[in-house]
Amino acid sequence: MQKLARNGHFRLTLGKNGASTGLESQNFHSTILNDFESHLKFAESNLIANLQYFAIRRIAK
């Protein structure tokens, strides 16, 4: 299945059985997990950037 468009919690996919909105239980939970995972990755990269910033500031003193 390919992701064609995404709007909030709705995801339009096109697969072997035609188009679906992603409201089916499995697709819907997959969307929520993917969103959560992307938020975690963003938070992790933000944390790493902050740690690097403060480490550089501490070394520069």
Tell me how many domains the chain contains.
Answer: 1
pLDDT of residue 31: 78
The neighbour count for residue 31, using CB atoms within 10 Å, is: 19
* pLDDT tens profile 4-61: 444 444 555 556 665 555 555 566 677 788 888 889 999 999 999 999 999 999 998 7
Range of the domain at 56: 2-60
pLDDT of residue 53: 92
**CA-CA distances (angstroms) from residue 60 to 1, 10, 42, 49, 50?**
51, 48, 27, 16, 15
* pLDDT tens profile 45-58: 999 999 999 999 99
pTM score, two decimals? Answer: 0.47
